[in-house]
Amino acid sequence: MPTHVLAEDHGDEAGALLAFLAAQRGGLRRALMGLTDAQAAERPSASELSLAGLVKHAAETEQGWLETAQQRPHSVARTPETWHLSFRLEGDETPAGVLEFWDGVARRTEEFIRSVPSLSDTFPLPAMPWFPDGARQSMRWLLLHLIEEMARHAGHADIIRESLDGRTAFELVDEEQKAQV
């Protein structure tokens, strides 16, 4: 991990998990630093993945899980036929717009997690062939799953960014920290 994650307060499990989630989001966000929209849309590896597409997918995925935990219908309903569209920008979508959308999702995730009485509270998983019938998961599981999802894609983003211009995650962290001073 290229950044040190500070938990908010000792014993604040929700704060610690939210901090780790924010750190993994940061890895994806940093991968776009300094790139043009065209570069962010490039697919420089054997994969179909682009940085802009990864960020869009991460934002949609987080929103989908948040809405599942809130037991609300998904704002963006993907089917097996449209799932691939979560990985590419369409129409007038831009990397900046997707990052702004994700900022809103991240705020809603934190507000929701801070509002639940306990991370042990559960929500039903959707009826899908890969989930057991009647399965429920905890808010703790939700956060851990989102951390896992973001970390996986932050790793993809590191490889794509380095393939584009040779810049590594550590260099981008250093650049971001210097810009904040």
Per-residue pLDDT of the chain (181 residues), as tens digits, is: 466 787 666 678 999 999 999 999 999 999 999 999 999 999 998 888 999 999 999 999 999 999 999 999 999 988 889 888 889 999 999 999 999 999 999 999 999 999 999 999 999 998 888 899 999 999 999 999 999 999 999 999 999 999 999 988 888 888 888 888 8
pTM: 0.92
Q: What is the pLDDT of residue 9?
A: 63
Rounded (10°) CA dihedral 48, 52, 56, 61? 60
Query: What pLDDT, on a 0 to 100 scale, did the predictor assign at position 17?
Result: 95
> Residues 75, 114: contact at Cβ < 8 Å?
no
| Residue 1, pLDDT score | 47
Burial 83-118 (b: 16+ CB within 10 A, else e): eebbbbbeeeeebeebbebbeebbeebeeebeebee
C-beta neighbour count of 77 within 10 angstroms = 8
Predicted local distance difference test score (pLDDT) of residue 140: 98
For β-strands 136-138 and 122-124, DSSP reports them as: antiparallel
Cβ-Cβ contacts under 8 Å for 78 (sequence gap 6 or more): 60, 64, 85, 86
**What is the residue type of 125?**
L
